Amino acid sequence: MIISKIETIPYSLPIKKFADAYTPFDRSNAVLVKIYTDVGIVGIGEACAWEPEFYGETLETITSTIQKYIAPKLIGENPIDIQNILSIVDRSVARITCVKEGIDLALFDLAGKALKTPVYTLLNGKFRDKIPIASEIGIDDPDAMAENALRVLDLGIPVIKIKGSREYEKDIQRIKVVRKAVGDDVKLRLDPNAAWPTSETIRVMKEVEDCNLEFLEQPVDGKNLDGMAWVRKNINIPLMADESIWDHNDVVSIFEKKAADIINIKIAKSCGLLGAKKIEHVSDATGMTCLTGTEIEPGMSIAAKIHLAASIRNLVHACKFTELSLINESLLQPKIEIEDGYITVPDGDGFGFDIDEDLLEKYRVNLPW
C-alpha cells in the first residue's frame, strides 16, 4: 500500500459569535486533508486555520504548502510508516504546526482503517470509554457571559471556562457575575490567554478567591516562564500552561521552572497526535497532568481529540470541547452526542467518523488560484 494522492479542501463553518483576548470571530476555518492510497483506503485529517493572529497560518497558506511542498514528497510512501512520513514533512517545512497537524491526523485515520482498529489503539490504547467535557464562554458583558454560561449548562456541559481580557476590573466583575449565575457547585476555570502581566494576575486572583475557581490557565506571556512560576507561587489554585506549550521540550522547561501544574495539549500546536503523545508522556514523567484543549475545531480534529483524550493515562480534569457549544452544523457523521457531561469514544476503524460531503461542499472556500 502506498500514498497515491493528497487532496486539500479549505472550508469555513459558521459558529456562534465568540471572542478571546486575541480576536472576536464567528467562523471556524480549517483545511480538510485526504490522503488516498493505491488500494482505495482514504485517511481524513484536518488542519486548523481559524486564528492567524495566534498560529500565523491561513486557509491559503495551509492549502498551498501541503500541495506544493509536502504532497509531492509523500507520493509513493507507505502511509503506515507514520513516524517516517512525519519526519519527511519536518524536513520539508519548519515550524508550521497546523499544516503538520492535517497530515498527521489523516495518516492516523488511514492507518486505523487499514489495520481495522480505532485510532486510540495506535496511541497505546484507551483508559476510558467516555470523555468528561468542558466549554469556554467568550468575552462579553458580564450579564451576557452569565447567560451564555447557563446556555452551556443546558447543553449538558457541566464545566465552564471564562475567557479573560485586558480589562482587569471588568474581568473580576465577569467572574463574579458568572459564579453567582451558575451557583457554587459548577466548576469554573479562568483563561486570560496570556494577556495579563504577573502583578495584575496575582491581584485579580486575590479579588476572586471567593469564586472558587478550579484552575487558572496561562495568564502571562507564553515565553515568560519565570512570570508563570511567580504567579503559581502566589495563587491558591493550580496553574495550567497553554501558550507556553508547543512540544515536549517545553514541558521539560516548565517542570524545571516549576511554572505550571497542568499541561494543555492542543493538537494544532503539537503538529498532531504523535507530538501530543510526546507531550503527555513527558508530562506524566514529571508528575504534571494533561488535558486536551480546543481550537474550536469544526470537524475531524474533534474526533482526533476524543481518541487522544481516551488514551491519556492521568486525565484528572474535563477536556475542552468548546466547539460543541458553538457549531450549529456538524460535519461529522454520526453527530457527537453529549450525555451527562460526557461524550462517548467511538470504536469504529480509524477515527470512527465520516464527513458529511454535502455540508463540506456547502462551506467549501474557493481560493483565488
The position carrying cell 516562564 is 225
The set of cell numbers assigned to 212 is 472558587
Print burial letters for 101-121: b (CB count within 10 Å at least 16), e (below 16).
Answer: bbbbbbbbbbbbbbeeebbbe
Closest to 112 (Cα-Cα) out of 324, 273, 336, 265: 273
Torsion of CA 332, 337, 341, 346, to 10 degrees: -70
Distance CA 330, CA 321 (A): 13
Distance CA 127, CA 345 (A): 10
Q: Phi first, then psi: give them for residue 272, nearest 5 degrees.
A: 115, -160
Give the angle subtended at the CA of 60 by the CAs of 95 and 83, to the nearest 5°. Answer: 40
As beta bridge partners, residue 216 has 190, 239
What's the Cα-to-Cα distance from 357 to each of 212, 299, 365, rounded to whole Å?
Answer: 44, 12, 14
Q: Phi first, then psi: give them for residue 152, nearest 5 degrees.
A: -65, -40
Q: Give the residue numbers marked as catalytic.
A: 163, 266
**How many Cα neighbours within 13 Å face the side chain of 266?**
23
In terms of residues, how long is the chain? Answer: 369
Check: CB of residue 97 under 8 Å from CB of residue 246.
yes
Positive or negative, the Cα torsion across 114, 120, 121, 122? positive
